[in-house]
Amino acid sequence: MSSPDLNLLYTLNAVLSEGSVVRAAQRLQLSPSAMSRALARLRETTGDPLLVRAGRGLVPTPRALELRERVDELVQDVEAVLRPATRPDLKRVARTFTVRAREGFAETFGPALVARVARDAPGVRLRFVPKLSRDSAALRDGTVDLETGVVGQATSPELREQALFRDRFVGVVRRRHPFARGRMTAARYSSGRHISVSRLGLERGRIDAVLAPLGLEREVSTIAGGFATAVALARASDLVATVPERHTAALRAGMHTFPLPFDVPPLVLSMLWHPRMHADPVHAWLRACVREACKVG
């Protein structure tokens, strides 16, 4: 069975609303012959003459009267579906958004983000979950609505992305650590006992790759799976943590932070989302909130 031509709905709606084939043709900007062909197709499709002659005019059949209100509602519904989405009244929106990020993001940027969301849309709730891998399946299946992280080769090409900020690496130690005093050099830095941050448990990383050409090697005493763990360990020991500056700002409160005495390529933190959420006006508003929170964080 072939699918019905839904364009006939517009023709039928015009004919039933105007009660005149001539006025319906003018409304649809059709020629008289094109309108006659459309009306013939309507009569064949519905199995009803729809409009019959009565004197000099046309009157609707009982079937036409039965269809008139339903067809008008259908046409309005179709137009509403195809119309570009308008921004909803945020004060009336009730939704929960799941945001996945590595340690430090919620602690540093969460307060500003939560405050903005509460001000604009009190019915919107944020759920922060840890980012334990780069797998994009959660964004694809909708269990995660928005994610922050570094875009790399493992990032799915189907995802939408937008850079939030560039973040440099810094060293951090407890306030009374020997590194809290005096001039820091690459040799002095490498002489300390260090925490390597690796989600995969690797001992060496980007810092070690920068030190190697300088003929230096740091002693890695501990391997942490995240920035928060590394900062917490450094706070309670003589270990040195090397972490992104802005991303860990809240975590490092009360500690001594120093710039690295050698160049390390910065991180570019981005937010990522699935294309199906791109045109959602509430999701677009949330993305704007994240951008604003990261500017002031």
pTM of the model: 0.68
Domain assignment present for 194: yes
**DSSP strand pairing (124-130 vs 95-101):** parallel
| Same domain (yes/no): 214, 137 | no
DSSP letter assigned to residue 221: E
Check if the beta carbon of residue 198 is closer than 8 Å to that of residue 182. Answer: no
Question: Alpha carbon of 256 to those of 184, 207, 247: distances in Å?
Answer: 13, 19, 16
CATH of the domain at 251: 3.40.190.10
Residues in the chain: 297
Mean pLDDT for 35-43 is 88
| Same domain (yes/no): 21, 139 | no
> Domain end: 31, 57, 82, which one?
82
| Same domain (yes/no): 153, 285 | yes
| Same domain (yes/no): 139, 277 | yes
For residue 75, pLDDT over 90 is answered with no
| Same domain (yes/no): 156, 277 | yes
| Same domain (yes/no): 143, 282 | yes
Average pLDDT, the chain: 89
pLDDT in tens, 255-290: 999 999 999 999 999 999 999 898 899 999 999 999
| Confidence (pLDDT) at 1 | 46
Domain assignment present for 89: no
- Our count of domains for the chain comes to 3
| Same domain (yes/no): 257, 189 | yes
| Confidence (pLDDT) at 2 | 60
- Structural domain harbouring 186: 169-265
| Same domain (yes/no): 121, 251 | no
Distance, in Å, from the CA atom of 250 to the CA atom of 269, rounded to the nearest integer, reads 17
